Amino acid sequence: MGAPLAGVAPMMAISFFGFGLGKQLLQSDPSVPITSTQTFLAGMLAGVFTTVIVAPGERIKCLLQVQSISGQLKYTGPVDCAVKLYKQQGIRSVYKGTVFTLIRDVPSSGLYFLTYEYLKKVLTPEGESVDRLSTPRILLAGGTAGIVNWAVALPPDVLKSNFQTAADGRYSGLVDVLRTLLRDEGARALYKGLSAVMLRAFPANAACFLGFEVALKCLNWLAPDW
């Protein structure tokens, strides 16, 4: 739990920052409503931004989870794991699986934010501002966005976890991991853990977007000129 807990706050902050920056870059005229394509591309940029934090955090988390299952405690915790990985093969070892993380997070983040923004508009009563959306509707939009996100992200996540926890040299790359997994376990292996992920996806992302919207309103009230 240590690695994801340490990384979740900065990861989500960078994710929303990347999404906001992407919208600013793509929307040349703020008075013109942003298109779905622009929203999707801005979300993809958010996925690129978060990889800096997510990739090493996922690498450490996966290694600690695997050792817990095997019973062979090679690392005492997240910090010890990061230090030993760095000492063994440098920063490349800490960031092993970065390309897999990008493949997982870039398209899924695009759909994540696109789904949320689309549902906000759909759930907003006619004649009312989307900024005044009720709490239950924010929760519904955020939770649904989380489900869509993981429906797309899970197969590359499985490939990433297999690659990050494998012994050095076992896989030559993405295609090799995919080929080996399909040969040994079949296509169903790409959705291993689907039930557990979906049980977490709705409440976690519903709370995430609600927290973001509430924080944004509070900041706009406390410091409107920021």
CA quadruple 75, 77, 80, 82: dihedral positive or negative? positive
Per-residue pLDDT reduced to its tens digit, 7-64: 688 889 999 999 999 999 998 887 888 999 999 999 999 999 999 888 888 888 888 8
In the block, tokens 């095997």 appear at 70
Ordered by start, the domain boundaries in the chain are 2-222
CA-based Rg of the chain, rounded to a whole angstrom?
Answer: 19
The predicted pLDDT at position 15 comes to 94
2-222 CATH fold: Mitochondrial carrier fold (1.50.40)
Cα–Cα distance measured from residue 131 to residue 220, given in angstroms and rounded to the nearest whole number:
12
Alpha-carbon distances of 5 from 30, 65, 195, rounded to whole Å: 36, 14, 22
Among the listed residues 86, 75, 81, 66, the one whose alpha carbon sits nearest the alpha carbon of residue 162:
66
Cα–Cα distance measured from residue 102 to residue 99, given in angstroms and rounded to the nearest whole number:
5
Q: What percent of the chain has pLDDT over 70?
A: 95
Q: CB of 166 within 8 A of CB of 102?
A: no
Cα–Cα distance measured from residue 53 to residue 49, given in angstroms and rounded to the nearest whole number:
8
What is the pTM assigned to this prediction? Answer: 0.86
Cα–Cα distance measured from residue 83 to residue 80, given in angstroms and rounded to the nearest whole number:
5
Q: CB of 63 within 8 A of CB of 165?
A: yes
Per-residue pLDDT reduced to its tens digit, 100-133: 999 999 999 999 999 999 999 999 988 888 888 9
3-state percent breakdown (helix, strand, coil) of the chain, nearest 5: 80, 0, 20
Cα–Cα distance measured from residue 210 to residue 131, given in angstroms and rounded to the nearest whole number:
12
Residues 6 or more apart whose CB falls under 8 angstroms from that of 63 comprise: 74, 75, 81, 85, 164, 165
